[in-house]
Amino acid sequence: MRVVLLRRSKQLLLVLLLVFGLWLGVIVMNEKLPSHHVNIVYNEKTYDSFQTNSVTDKYLPEKSITILETEQTQRKKLAKEVCTLSQTSPNLDSVIKDRGLLDHIIVDEEHRLLYCYVPKVACTNWKRLLMVLMGKANTTNPLAIVADDSHRLNVFRRLDNYTGEEIRYRLEHFMKFMFIRHPFERLVSAFRNKFGQNSSSSDYFRSRYGRQIVKQYRTNASEESLSRGHDVTFREFVQYIIDPRTVARASFNEHWRPMVDLCLPCTIQYNVIGKYESLMDDAWLVLEKANLNQKVSFPRSERPSSTNSLVEEYTKHLSQEELLHLYHIYEMDFRLFDYHSPGFD
């Protein structure tokens, strides 16, 4: 009997030691592995789940939702009034016939979103965010996505890829949003980015546009400038934009094409018209109206743009006549979105 009890005691002790060992192993593993790193499958793509501590990182707007909604009402009212007065915008039927006009509107079917992207108005971060939402990236951190990847042609489906009936349905039932920026600030940003930086993109713009601009608008240009187009000045860039031959010859590149031409706000009634100047609050409003604020947050930039302070520095080298011509190119952007032009207000 004593032998049996001793044997059972040893067995119980072994079981207790085994349980303790397993418990200790779980604790050690939890300390070594981040609790938020869990892989899930979405649309047959594997990517990290949203971080469990993301709630504490969520952006909270500086203004109340009531104020943000009131601002939207005022922006849309002004846009409608200006559109009515201009009477130059195409109607929806003509836009559907010429679907290329809708090529800047990205469609997110699952979340029922239509986003019209405007280059140089935070469009890279919006595209990154949409890639995360649509399962097109293997990360949940939008800023971890390489910028060039978000701009690849086949990443998103555009509204111009749909039939006329499908376009009408999405314009009526999906939430539509776009973001805007002071036209001259956007122009300076485009010039600095495409002609003043060292990147593959800048190399393309210098070759494609820079050499032509130097040839046409610079007297006694050097052979190096003519062959490289690497030292275009802002005034030469503006002279190219306001030249009637430029306007008549071809449409502008998307980086300096007027915002009204990219997004057709007189034809399409956007639910949210966000401003670059209030980017984080307006981005929050978009996600709130789409019921997505619990899933994602618009990425916060660590370096606020300094372009606004540079606009006057760049435009002061323009003559009043050049400034006026430039204003007329972007006049609808100024009037529709309540911006003011430096120099002759």
Pairwise CA distance, residues 116 & 120, whole Å:
13
Pairwise CA distance, residues 110 & 130, whole Å:
11
> Which amino acid, 254?
E
Pairwise CA distance, residues 277 & 119, whole Å:
15
Is residue 315, in this structure, part of any structural domain at all? Answer: yes
Number of H helices, E strands in the chain: 18, 7
Is residue 94, in this structure, part of any structural domain at all? Answer: yes
Q: What mean pLDDT is predicted for residues 229-245?
A: 95
What does the pLDDT read at residue 87? Answer: 77
Q: Is the pLDDT of residue 34 over 60?
A: no
Is residue 29, in this structure, part of any structural domain at all? Answer: no
Inter-residue contact 287 to 68 (CB < 8 Å): no
- Count the domains in the chain: 1
Bridge partners (DSSP) listed for residue 272: 177
At a CB cut-off of 8 Å and minimum separation 6, what does 100 contact?
Answer: 160
Q: Tell me the C-alpha to C-alpha distance, in Å, between residue 207 and each of 108, 199, 238.
A: 35, 12, 17
Mean pLDDT of the chain: 85
Q: What is the pLDDT of residues 138-188, one digit of tens each?
A: 999 999 999 999 999 899 999 999 999 999 999 999 999 999 999 999 999
Copy the structure tokens of residue 185: 């600030």
Q: What percent of the chain has pLDDT over 90?
A: 71
Is residue 19, in this structure, part of any structural domain at all? Answer: no
Q: How many CB atoms lie within 10 A of CB 195?
A: 21
Inter-residue contact 124 to 150 (CB < 8 Å): yes
pTM: 0.81
Is residue 42, in this structure, part of any structural domain at all? Answer: no
What does the pLDDT read at residue 20? Answer: 55
Is residue 317, in this structure, part of any structural domain at all? Answer: yes
Inter-residue contact 281 to 185 (CB < 8 Å): no
Is residue 286, in this structure, part of any structural domain at all? Answer: yes
Q: What percent of the chain has pLDDT over 70?
A: 80
Residue whose pair of structure tokens reads 């104020």 in the numeric block: 67
Inter-residue contact 120 to 181 (CB < 8 Å): yes
User: Which residue range forms the structural domain that includes residue 184?
Assistant: 65-337
